[in-house]
Amino acid sequence: MLNLNRSAFNYYRHRQVLVTGAAGFLGSHLVDALLQSGANVIGVDNFITGRKQNLSWALKQPQFQLIEADAIQAPTTYLTETDTAQVDVVFHFASPASPPRYQQHPVETYLVNSFGTHQLLDWLKQFHPQARFIYASSSEVYGDPEVHPQPESYWGNVNPNGPRSCYDEGKRLGETICGVWQRDFQLDVRIARFFNTYGPRLDPDDGRVISNFIKQAKQQKPLTIYGEGSQTRSYCYVDDLIRAVLLFGALPDLKGKTLNLGNPQEYTVRETAKIIWQLINPNRKLKLQFKPFPKDDPQRRQPNIDLAKKLLDWQPEIDFKTGIKLTAEKFS
């Protein structure tokens, strides 16, 4: 069970919570934490990238209901009035998240982050105007940043028509929509910008750097580095991220807030490769293979989390080596 502030933990007890993208890496961890807190949870997923095995524990819990549906559609098409007689909190996590997956599904990606967000907020305004809405945005809204580390006030440096734009601009438009419904219709909307997150349930084939390195290290194959490996990332263990998300949804007076959620410790991709290889193959020499640097891939990525520290009284607790060990142990 997560080490969560007791008042925040109690906030979810007996509340009705809707989670889109419930079978995804982050969504499934969120569902488990909500169920542990005593919430009644409706999970929605179309399984484009989500995996039902991620919900193996949740599906055994009587207070969990899984609906296979596309969150691009109006909620009235997949939720009955009985299902949603009361909704207290919505976590909109539905979206492919790794570059290979969202580039494989570009239309679905920009639609679920834009029109899907609009549909949910329009539905809340009609039927549950007092509910809290937490939108899962991304550090990708900063693009290849020219400001480092990135504060929430930075507007970003995004290519609006590049190979990553279906996700980057989809998230940015989702934030725009959130702002409209908060300002013009007074809904309690909150935006969480997630930085690179890792942990158990990462899909080994999703193409993210941690997934690739652990998979290759376990197979004792050379680790693939794009470019020279000098680009940096900041990695947050999933338990730390979910703890922040639950706090963000539970605490009062955060309507309209946008928060960076991630671990500010920064590593080059080469450093990342070395750490993962040594943890998995301590007695073998690291081998690397290099490939061309992808278009629009960010050179540096590090969150400024001062605002999250202040408003949530939160900061990451799991160090990178510990997190990698926990991830590798359950990697499948």
Give the residue, 331 or 179, on which the prediction is more confident.
179
Q: How many CB atoms lie within 10 A of CB 283?
A: 5
CA distances from 292 to 226, 282, 295 (A): 5, 28, 9
Domain membership flag for residue 128: yes
What pLDDT does 7 receive? 65
3-state secondary structure of 122: helix
Percent of the chain with pLDDT over 90: 92
As a dihedral over the C-alpha atoms of residue 1, residue 197, residue 96, residue 163, rounded to 10 degrees, the angle is: 180
Tokens of residue 208, six digits? 């993210």
Domain membership flag for residue 215: no
Domain span at residue 51? 6-197+237-264+302-317
Domain membership flag for residue 326: no
Domain membership flag for residue 245: yes
3-state secondary structure of 127: helix
CB 160 within 8 A of CB 111: no
Q: pLDDT per residue over 244-290, tens digit each?
A: 999 999 999 999 999 999 999 999 999 999 999 999 999 999 999 99
Tokens of residue 260, six digits? 């960076």
Q: pLDDT per residue over 141-153, tens digit each?
A: 999 999 999 999 9
- List the strands of the sheet with 132-138, edge to edge: 64-68, 40-45, 16-20, 89-92, 132-138, 188-194, 258-261
Tokens of residue 5, six digits? 């502030």
Tell me how many domains the chain contains: 1
Give the residue, 80 or 332, on which the prediction is more confident.
80
Domain membership flag for residue 27: yes
CA-nearest of 263, 238, 244, 240 to 330 is 238
Please give the full DSSP string across 15-68, using - where no structure is assigned: -EEEEETTTSHHHHHHHHHHHHTT-EEEEEE--SS--GGGGTTGGG-TTEEEEE
Rama region for 329: left / alpha / beta (φ>0; ψ in -120 to 50; rest): alpha
Domain with residue 77: its CATH number is 3.40.50.720
Average pLDDT over residues 148-173: 96
Domain membership flag for residue 67: yes
Domain membership flag for residue 218: no
Per DSSP, what are the bridge partners of residue 19?
A: 43, 91
Domain membership flag for residue 182: yes
Average pLDDT, the chain: 95
Q: pLDDT per residue over 34-62, tens digit each?
A: 999 999 999 999 999 999 999 999 999 99
Catalytic residues: 167
